[in-house]
Amino acid sequence: MANFNIRTQLKGCSFHERPSYLSWLRQNPDPPVWLEREPDCAYDPNAIRVMIRKPEPVCIGYLPRDLASVLAPLIDSGKPVTISRVIPTGGTPGKHQGCVADLSWDR
């Protein structure tokens, strides 16, 4: 089995309350983080959201569509996909922020 590791830029980080979550993340690095499938998403049936505990669970963004199309079937079949950390990027807090995530999985 091959082991895959990737750092990817999350999508949707500037919508809803997510910029404030990223500002919180800058002050509170390394909270619990996990992936959560969203198969009923109207925009992408392979959608995978990235969640942190702040202390309540919140979505900070989504995996890119092309990566989600590869990982969704793995997650759906019960294979582990690990997200080891998320790192806020860019801009000033509350404005033009993004986030990268480190992922790993076996095929």
- Angle in degrees, CA 57, 13, 91, rounded to 5: 120
Mean pLDDT of 9-13: 95
Whole-model pTM?
Answer: 0.91
- Whether 51 contacts 58, CB under 8 Å: yes
State the CB neighbour count (10 A cutoff) for residue 87.
16
Nearest alpha carbon to residue 23 among 92, 93, 87 = 93
- Whether 48 contacts 72, CB under 8 Å: yes
- Whether 41 contacts 59, CB under 8 Å: no
Domain containing residue 90: CATH number: 3.30.70.2330
At 35-78, the pLDDT tens digits run 999 999 999 999 999 999 998 999 999 999 999 999 999 999 99
State the CB neighbour count (10 A cutoff) for residue 17.
11
Total number of domains in the chain: 1
Domain that holds residue 10: 3-106
